[in-house]
Amino acid sequence: MRILIVEDSRINQFIARDTLIKYNIPCDIEFAMDGEAALEHIYTHTIDLVLLDIIMPKMTGLQVLEQLHQIKFVDPPKVIMLTTISDAKILKACFDLGAVDYIKRPFEEMDFVSRVNSTIRDIENENAMRQAKIMLESQNAKLLEVNETLKETQYHLVQKEKLVAIGELAAGIAHEINNPLAFVISNFTNIKQYVDRFKTFIDASMDLTNQHDDLSKFKEAMLIKWRELDMAFVFEDFPELIVDSQKGLDRVAKIVSSMRNFARLSDENYFEYVDINELLDEVLIVVNNEVKYIATVQKEFNPCPPVYCNKGQIEQVFVNLIINAAHAIKSNDEAHLSNIFDPFFTTKPVGQGTGLGLSISHNIVVDKHHGRISVDSKVGLGTCFTIEIPYRYEEINLEENT
């Protein structure tokens, strides 16, 4: 604690100093004889408390306060006025300019010590609060850094889980694509043969045109060629092959589109209004090969307004749930029901699965979308997962602000 005594009287300086020493007030004491010297000292030294005389030559204590008031100190010193006057207007002006107290001269020791000690306690409390604020800000900064690191780690875990799911689904997707492609390839073999017949028939008609001037003979020859090449069947079957091939290619395009949508690394903060029924249709296409040999999927979709969500994350939740359901059908998981949302919990053999699928699903629904996910299982009846999320932007905002 550094105290500056600003007095033009040496006697009053020594009285103030001796009183501080007598009552064991721990401080370093410095002196200034006038306002100008006081300001220079305050500008060049760290001063905690100024005992400032109001009436001084060259510059009064009030003028010193005005100068200090104009300068924006980061940590300004506390000022106690020393005065022999009792003018309320002057004292009010001192307080308006930042003085915290005043002591009348001649000094009454207990009053002097009491007011100085009170101000010193205020300074110490403010210093303690300032240090606590600095420490709190530092801790907050560290927590924010840790939180950002955790968010990044969580984001990478979510993406890794998605990549694991993509790896597990890849073979099935290839099989799903291969079936319609094989069908289309087979159709195009027939289509090529039909095109060859078209060409043969057209070439024959050109030759017959040159050979027969008689129209009736030309028609008879063309009819023989038509029957020989079975063109009636070609014209009947050809459009059906085109339609069937188009359906097969559309199926491939839908599978590829659904897989591409699921595989993309989405921005975790990007929310949009999504048709959940369409999203579920895409998910069922992606997981079809994992499910079709184990169970029959029965869809009972009801009309649903667009839901405000992160499409990629909600897709991942449904993929995780459906794949886990397919795997669970092969085994009895009822005993593990209380652990299914725990990170890294898995009933699969070592090396199969990360144990993060349902834990990540829980995080996506509860933490990211402010919703709920619950599970109910009954022996012999099956297991039901219930997912509830707000479907409007305003509801999510309300959840975040409460």
Domain total in the chain: 2
Residues 103 and 163 in one domain: no
Residue 155 has a pLDDT of 65
Reading the block at residue 270, the tokens are 């990007």
Domain carrying residue 271: 156-400
pLDDT for position 277: 93
Asked, for residue 132, whether it belongs to a domain, the answer is no
Low-confidence ranges of the chain (pLDDT < 70): 154-168, 171, 212-213, 263-266, 330-332, 334-357, 393-402
Do residues 79 and 184 both lie within one domain?
no
**Same structural domain, 305 and 175:** yes
CATH code for the domain of 202: 3.30.565.10
Q: pLDDT digit string (tens) for 237-254?
A: 888 888 888 888 888 888
Tens digit of pLDDT for each residue in 349-371?
434 444 456 777 888 888 888 88
Classify residue 328: in a domain, yes or no. yes
Choosing from 43, 78, 107, the residue where a domain stops is 107
Question: Are residues 48 and 174 both part of a single domain?
Answer: no
- Does a structural domain hold residue 376? yes
Query: Does 180 lie in the same domain as 71?
Result: no
pLDDT for position 332: 54
Q: Are residues 78 and 160 both part of a single domain? A: no
* In a shared domain, residues 238 and 351: yes
- In the listed set 90, 107, 124, which residue is the last one of a domain according to the structure? 107
Domain boundary at 86, 107, 128, which?
Answer: 107
Instruction: Record the pTM.
Output: 0.48
CATH of the domain at 32: 3.40.50.2300
